[in-house]
Structure 1
Amino acid sequence: MRASELSELAAFAAVARHKSFRMAGEERGVTASAISHAILNLENRIGVRLLNRTTRSVSLTEAGDLLQSYLDPAFGEITSALDALNRFRDTPFGRVRINVPNSVAPFVIGHVIGPLLAKNPNLQLEVSATDRLVDIVKEGFDAGIRFGERVSEGMIAVRIKPQLRLVVVGSPAYFERRSVPITPHDLKRHFCIQNMFPSGARYAWDFKKGGQSVSFQPTGPLSLDDHELMVEAALSGVALAYVWENRVQKHIADGELVQVLDDWCQPEEPLYLYYPSRRHLSAGFRALIDAMKGPV
């Protein structure tokens, strides 16, 4: 088989996974038009239509579905064979793609990237940071990160560091005008930022002390879906923010923000790296897992 024919098959396999020429192009590092051209060449060469195309969607024909069922395990075997060569190299070779929540990415991956790539210079690490819910299989990621061990069926979860917690902060200027809250119930008398998911859904400020749990849902005029903006709003003195403690530690140390209700703010659920149980664990991916787990 010629290299061009193998490239066309790889392009088709990417489109079959993503049901999108654009996303397949991003995975392959080429344009969507290049992917489309490769698929057309493949269909013309074999004389069979593999994809149904409309202006809004891409789907597999019966022939395309059959071809995909053969290509997925075949390309999996090729990947495994290439990864087996890592034992003849000083360091792992290959690409690893992970999805990380944008709000925690700096704390989870920021301290890992430098040492990981320094030890593994042949590794290509692609990190997509977004707080939207992502289907890592459908979108071609090797792994994702989320809170809690609850993941979809067929996934493996590995606990990683650090363990983060959300805290309540406000500026000194804000507290010159308002009293410091002693319990979460006092927040009803304060301006509090509403925390949003990218979908627009709001999530509550959750607190726990001893055996008592309190869930507070802000109703203030400001709603944000980005922790960076929440911190900036708190620094400006406009409202209280419920943000990651790691993100505001320096502001607290410098006296720019005041942390309140500390004894009510409990650690979050642990973070987990998750990936499909059927996934081949390449040497590069194992190196990433080891780096994110950190020292025992």
Structure 2
Amino acid sequence: MRRRLKPGEYAEARAFVAVAEARSFRRAALDLGLTPSTLSHAVRAFEDRLGHRFLNRTTRAVTVTEVGANLLKDLTPALAQLDSAVAAVGVPQDTPMGVVRLAAPRLAIQALVAPAVERLTRRYPHVTLDVRTVERPGDLLKGFDLGIQLGNEVARDMVAVALTKPFTTAVVGSPTYFAAHPPPAHPADLSRHRCIDCRSGPGGSLYRWTFEQDGETVTLDVNGTLVTDDADLMLHSALSGIGLWHGVDRIAQPMIDEGRLLRVLTDWSPTYPGFYLHYTAGAPLSPAVRAVADALKGGD
């Protein structure tokens, strides 16, 4: 027989979920407006009641145990449903409401999600958008209602809706960098340049730079003095003359127009599908999920 939570244990369960998701008592306490010691006592009481350790605590980090991870997977949607039920009291029946979980890469969050938040809040004040940065989620991750990915990365069994036009890649460097290094005329010339390497994908593999021209495709590994998965650091380093940056042209274009970056290998720049909103085919969409989708598509 399954054990049911007693009324007093809901607060403890909520405390556990907050700490497990934040991986920090301090950050979770700030989110909930409580003290870290209060959260610590609540989680400990929750563990004692259920007879399992859900969190491993050290002076430097908080990690979730295997038992805790399984519990978190079930508790998170259950508590979200409870919040939605409470929020629905006194609200007209057809009003979109509840928590919508969205997984998206940082670039999509900056370009698409951030502008949509204002539209969403203005029109649907009872909808809460829970956004997680996930660079390469593959198939829509369990526990998320919607995802945003590049069009060529969306699984075939997903419903996909285009959010942006296709984009073109660009290789850029600062005037200072090119003052000391002749611009490459062919992708093969990049072997003699310092390039800012991007770590991405499953296991943090290194991204391979790809170029195309007149039916010829060149894919190569690059070398340099910086490897990172942080997009802001990559662009900042290119502006500082650390090396060449390979990314989306529309991001670099303002700095190219200002003369702060110079573009090379333009004729070798391939074009890729833009960002797509996607969700599981056949899954019924709640009014709240549809509201978020409309906001992301730019609807007012």
TM-score (norm 1): 0.70
CA–CA separation in structure 1 for the residues paired with 2:155 and 2:98: 26
Counterpart for residue 212 of structure 1: 216
Counterpart for residue 173 of structure 1: 176
What are the Cα deviations for residues 34-84 of structure 1, in whole angstroms up to 9, with x where unaligned? 76367469x5xxxxx5856574754569xx99xx99x99998997998899
Equivalent residue runs for 1:113-192 within 5 Å: 113-131=117-135, 133=137, 137=141, 140-148=143-151, 150=153, 156-162=158-164, 163-192=166-195
CA RMSD of aligned residues (A): 4.3
What are the Cα deviations for residues 189-246 of structure 1, in whole angstroms up to 9, with x where unaligned? 2221112128442111111223111112112222222221111111122311112223
TM-score (norm 2): 0.69
CA–CA separation in structure 2 for the residues paired with 1:188 and 1:137: 37
Structure 1 stretch displaced more, 191-200 or 203-212: 191-200
CA–CA separation in structure 2 for the residues paired with 1:52 and 1:226: 34
Kept after mapping to 2: 8 A contact 1:159/1:270: no
Following superposition, the deviation at residue 10 of structure 1 comes to 9.3
Task: Name structure 2 gaps, 5 residues minimum.
Answer: 57-62
Counterpart for residue 264 of structure 2: 260
Give the residue type in structure 1 aligned to 2:178.
F
Question: What is the aligned counterpart of 1:108 among 105, 112, 115?
Answer: 112
CA–CA separation in structure 2 for the residues paired with 1:104 and 1:119: 22
Give the residue type in structure 1 aligned to 2:21.
M
CA–CA separation in structure 1 for the residues paired with 2:43 and 2:126: 30
Q: How many residues align?
A: 274
Q: Does 1:232 align with 2:243?
A: no
Secondary structure of residue in 2 paired with 1:109? helix
Following superposition, the deviation at residue 33 of structure 1 comes to 4.2
CA–CA separation in structure 1 for the residues paired with 2:64 and 2:130: 26
CA–CA separation in structure 2 for the residues paired with 1:142 and 1:34: 32
Give the residue type in structure 2 aligned to 1:118.
R
Counterpart for residue 23 of structure 1: 21
CA–CA separation in structure 2 for the residues paired with 1:101 and 1:171: 26
Following superposition, the deviation at residue 178 of structure 1 comes to 2.6
CA–CA separation in structure 2 for the residues paired with 1:160 and 1:188: 36
Following superposition, the deviation at residue 102 of structure 1 comes to 2.0
Secondary structure of residue in 2 paired with 1:174? helix
Give the residue type in structure 2 aligned to 1:22.
A
Secondary structure of residue in 2 paired with 1:272? strand
Give the residue type in structure 2 aligned to 1:177.
A
Following superposition, the deviation at residue 170 of structure 1 comes to 0.9
CA–CA separation in structure 1 for the residues paired with 2:103 and 2:117: 14
Note closer, same or farther for the CA distance 1:194–1:73 as it changes in structure 2 (3 Å cut).
closer
Kept after mapping to 1: 8 A contact 2:20/2:64: no
CA–CA separation in structure 2 for the residues paired with 1:52 and 1:105: 35
Structure 1 stretch displaced more, 106-115 or 142-151: 142-151
Kept after mapping to 2: 8 A contact 1:192/1:219: yes
Kept after mapping to 2: 8 A contact 1:51/1:59: no
CA–CA separation in structure 1 for the residues paired with 2:145 and 2:91: 21
Counterpart for residue 243 of structure 1: 247
CA–CA separation in structure 1 for the residues paired with 2:258 and 2:167: 21
